[in-house]
Amino acid sequence: MADNKMDTVSLFGIRVSKMNMRETVEYLQRVVEKRIPHQVITINPIMIMAALQDPGYMAVMREADLVVPDGAGVVWAAKHVGTPVAERVAGFDLMQELCSVGQTRGWKVYLLGAAPEIVRETARRLRERFPGLVLSGYRDGYFSAEQDEEVLADIRRAEPDLLFVARSAAGQEPWIHRYRRQLNVPVMMGVGGSFDVIAGKSRRAPLWMQNMRLEWLFRLLQEPWRYKRMMALPKFVLTVVRHKKDVQKWY
């Protein structure tokens, strides 16, 4: 169950955390210690626009236990409506921070998603970087709905403290939401293309581009085929501006 006392800003009915990175990590550390299952969503404008078009996806966003402002556009939107968040909490960085804390406490992590060679290399590199972290299991993301029970059983056997799911945004959040009670993992978080970055298949934007909120442009230059998805960004800005008075009252 989500922490009702958490300081959040409502964006179209989605409760986005106002905590900074340090506070977010400390919050999730308590979640692990108390064994409280939490679905963590690292939200960006593309996800919000998708949710506005899909009631089922919107329900997933609204029912998450913790939603952090991954995209720079979400940080801008919160400020624009007069309730700013502390800072951007990037999903990739949050994953790294949790692994860093986890290695000092012997936490167990399970990796789910990406291609077989990518998830294997991700596991190898995480072991190398965080030797105190326990890699209790991993599996690629190429499985059908008929194999869900098999995947769930393997995760439950591994008893992880952290479950990182690297599938498409349309697939990972709904999948976690559907099975979160059966999984019963303290931290269940979709991490998108993070495994590709960790494994060295793709690169993250340079720090100067991140600071200038141009990470979206770097990804577009790396993967031009994403341009149709990126069209959601200006639509998001227009939607927030147009409904500025109602963004926090949206139901």
Domain encompassing residue 113 = 9-199
Is 208 among the domain residues? no
Is 249 among the domain residues? no
Whole-structure pTM value: 0.88
Q: How far apart are CA 230 and CA 219, in angstroms?
A: 10
Are residues 191 and 164 in contact, defined by beta-carbon separation less than 8 angstroms?
yes
Is 229 among the domain residues? no
Looking at the 3D structure of the chain, how many domains does it have?
Answer: 1
Is 186 among the domain residues? yes
Q: How far apart are CA 98 and CA 111, in angstroms?
A: 13
Would residue 218 be called left, alpha or beta, if left means φ above 0 and alpha means ψ between -120 and 50 degrees? Answer: alpha
| Pairing of the two strands 187-190 and 38-43 | parallel
Closest CA to 103 of 32, 184, 201, 153: 32
- Mean pLDDT, the chain, rounded, equals 89
Quote the tokens at residue 118. Answer: 């990518």
CATH of the domain at 43: 3.40.50
**pLDDT for the residue numbered 229:** 61
Is 133 among the domain residues? yes
Amino acid at the residue 102: G
Q: Tell me the pLDDT of the chain (251 aa) as tens digits.
A: 444 468 999 999 999 999 999 999 999 999 999 999 999 999 999 999 999 999 999 999 999 999 999 988 999 999 999 999 999 999 999 999 999 999 999 999 999 999 999 999 999 999 999 999 999 999 999 999 999 999 999 999 999 999 999 998 778 999 999 999 999 999 999 998 999 999 988 766 677 666 656 665 556 556 655 556 656 778 988 899 988 777 776 65
pLDDT digits (tens, 9 = 90+) for 203-234: 666 776 666 566 655 565 566 555 566 567 78
**pLDDT for the residue numbered 205:** 61
Beta strands in the chain (DSSP E): 8-11, 14-17, 38-43, 66-69, 108-113, 134-139, 162-166, 187-190
**pLDDT for the residue numbered 150:** 97
Q: How far apart are CA 128 and CA 196, in angstroms?
A: 16
Is 243 among the domain residues? no
pLDDT digits (tens, 9 = 90+) for 178-205: 999 999 999 999 998 999 999 988 766 6
